[in-house]
Structure 1
Amino acid sequence: MHAMQYELTLPADYDMEIIRKRVATRGHLLDDFPGLGLKAYLIRERGETSPVNQYAPLYLWSVPEGMNSFLWGPGFQGVVDDFGRPEVQHWTGLSYREGAVPEALPRTAVRHRERVPDTVRPAAAVEAALAESRRLATVPGVVATALAADPRRWELLHFTLWEEEPQPGVPGDRYEVLHLSAPERDLLGRGRQW
């Protein structure tokens, strides 16, 4: 599994209805994309829960060939043509788990990034993060949760899809899920990825 995300931060007065319409008319195009485990079409709107307007889809790829086909094909080129070429963040998958309500349609996603301090052994940090991922998967309202790592920056990424808004105190950036494409969700594997 590979995790990938790009963030398109938009002007403060940007009409987010444009992004909503874009997803409503184009989101289905990846509903059967080979190699795609799932894509969550995510937005944040400037206000109480976000400092910015942002379109920030997050992908979990079941195989790298799917990711490559998307990045070097017409799908990503459409993003580049409309918004410019964003930085594409990429993490190596460590774990994927279905949640307590895997059949539910997610409305909220939470992305929590954490640095692995220099004083902490990488394997110990990953084991603690895996334990948290296992715990999260059992929380009522969780649709699915994934854990990934960027060893260049020694960063862990926790990504969780929720049926509704999670309880206060759940750390991370909150996004509204506009659409979920999940053609190869069943191929993402379960649990630890090594």
Structure 2
Amino acid sequence: MHAMQYELTLPADYDMGIIRDRVDRIGHALDDWDGLGVKAYLMRERGVHGSPVSQYAPFYLWNTTEGMNSFLWGGPFQGPVGDFGRPVVRQWTGLAHEGGDAADSAPLVAVRQRVPVPEGVVLAEFMDEAVRENGRLAGRDGAVLAATAVDTSRWELVRFSLWARRTPDAEGEVFQVLHLSAPGRKSLPTGRQW
């Protein structure tokens, strides 16, 4: 599993209805994308769920790097690049993924938490604990899924979770889920990824 996200931070007075309409119009385009586990079309609005900014920030869990590269270099990514400029695309190597008790429900919100990997820790122990925490997160009431991945260029974990209720039981930045494309969700590996 490979995680990926880009964030398009918009002006404070930007009409977020434009983003909603965009996702309504094109969100289905990846509903059968080869190699994609999950794409959550995410949005934050300034002042909603404590967000200091308005953003469009899709989050992806990929089954294959070929699917990811096909998306990035094969055309669809050119849409947001052409409309908003080329964003930084963050990528993390998968550590763990689990379905939650609400796995069959449509997610309403997502939570992303980024955590630095401290200097001096035993990496195997730290990553094992991150996997256990991912399982605990997936086990909370209303969780659709939980995934944890690591960026070794920044030594940063990302915990990503989808929730079937508007008040998630997780800490981090809260996003509204506008659409979920999940063609390969059942193929995403579960549990520890090494």
**TM-score normalised by structure 2 residue count:** 0.97
Whole-angstrom distance in 1 between the partners of 2:91 and 2:118: 20
Query: In structure 2, what residue type is equivalent to 1:40?
Result: A
Alignment of 1:34 with 2:41, yes or no, is no
CA contact (8 A) 2:41 2:177 kept: yes
In structure 1, distance between residues paired with 2:79 and 2:70: 14
8 Å Cα contact 2:111/2:168 also seen in 1: no
Counterpart residue number, 1:124: 125
SS at match of 1:27: helix
1:111 and 2:133 are equivalent in the alignment: no
Deviation at 1:25, TM superposition (A): 0.5
Asked if 1:3 corresponds to 2:3, the answer is yes
1:162 counterpart residue number:
163
Structure 2 gap ranges (5+):
none
Q: Which amino acid aligns with 2:88?
A: E
In the alignment, the residues of structure 2 paired with residue 31 and residue 4 of structure 1 have an alpha-carbon distance, to the nearest angstrom, of: 17
In structure 2, what is the Cα distance between the partners aligned to 1:142 and 1:171? 13
Cα shift at 1:167: 4.8
Q: How far apart, in 2, do the equivalents of 1:171 and 1:126 lie?
A: 19
For 1:70 and 1:111, the matched residues in 2 are separated by 22
What is the Cα deviation at residue 132 of structure 1? 0.7
Deviation >4 Å, runs of 4+:
none
C-alpha distance in 1, partners of 2:139/2:133? 10
SS at structure 2 position matched to 1:75: coil
Give 1:166 shift.
3.2
Report the counterpart of residue 72 of structure 1 in structure 2. Answer: 73
CA deviation map 1:124-168 (0-9, x unaligned): 221111111111111110000101000111101100000012357
Number of aligned positions between the proteins: 193
Match for residue 148 of structure 2?
A: 147
Aligned residue type for 1:5:
Q
Distance 2:123 2:111 in 1: 23
Aligned equivalents of 1:151 and 1:177: distance in 2?
27
| Equivalence map 1:167-186=2 (5 Å) | 167=168, 170-186=170-186
SS in structure 1 of the partner of residue 77 of structure 2: helix
Q: What amino acid is aligned across from residue 190 of structure 1 in structure 2?
A: T
What SS does the corresponding residue of 1:74 show, helix, strand or coil? coil
Aligned-residue RMSD, C-alpha: 1.0
Q: Which runs of 5+ in 1 are unaligned?
A: none
TM-score (norm 1): 0.97
